[in-house]
Amino acid sequence: MKKFFVLTVLFALPIVAYLFFASGKNNFARLPVLTEEVSEISDLSSYDDEPVFLQDHISVVAFFGEKIEDLKGNTFNLDKKILEKYYGFNDFQFVIILPESARESAADFAKEFEGITNAHEWKFVFGSPEEIKAIFVSFNSPYHLSTESYSPYVFIVDKSRNLRGRDDDDEGNLFGYDSRDIAELTNKMNDDVKVILAEYRLALKKNNADRNNN
């Protein structure tokens, strides 16, 4: 019996380990780069006139259009299911890109949410429809921006302004995450934000260790 048990364990353990790592491979690898060097957004205006940069930040970027008040559900789900877990990380930011016509309504929108979400952490930037479209096009995704500068998809951009996502999703490449779909936010996007933050934390630890060894 002992021999049989040992043989079973030796045979089964590698298979179990393989299935575990294979089923969660996105948790143990770098998040793929799908588009390199998307456009910088520092020329867009903000409420405090301080430029907002994608460079040197890990950013979740949304294009929420003119009628932002109609997107309360999308934004609330995104903040509660994903973003509020990560605001404490250095250089992590949630950027909402809007047309100038939405400036006043966006301020009211954020104020309304302040009591129940981390709305004070959101960074609003504003530009012309042409500027916003040029930035959106630079992401080189298969998605479309509406005439009101709106897309339901939100994007993960790394510190080098590379668009990150999945190159092995069910339907091919996953460039962005549908903010209307709670399951996609909770499962795929939450997993991918964890991966990219872990990636940068490991790189930081390595850099610190290298400096200490020199």
CB 185 within 8 A of CB 155: no
Nearest to 157 by CA among 176, 142, 170, 129: 176
| Rounded distance between C-alpha atoms, residue 186 and residue 146, angstroms | 25
Where helices occur in the chain by DSSP H, the ranges are 2-23, 72-81, 103-113, 129-138, 182-184, 190-213
- pTM equals 0.82
User: 61 exposed, middle or buried (CB, 10 Å; 0-12, 13-18, 19+)?
Assistant: buried
The count of C-alpha atoms lying within 13 angstroms of the C-alpha of 200, restricted to the half-sphere facing its C-beta, is 17
The pLDDT score that the predictor gives to residue 207 is 60
CB 39 within 8 A of CB 155: no
Given a cut of 60, whether residue 95 has pLDDT beyond it is yes
Ordered by where they begin, the domains of the chain are 32-213 (3.40.30.10)
The mean per-residue pLDDT over the stretch 54-68 comes to 95
pLDDT per position as a tens digit, 147-191: 999 999 999 999 999 999 999 998 889 999 999 999 999 999 999
Across the chain, mean pLDDT equals: 85
| Rounded distance between C-alpha atoms, residue 52 and residue 208, angstroms | 27
The mean per-residue pLDDT over the stretch 101-130 comes to 90
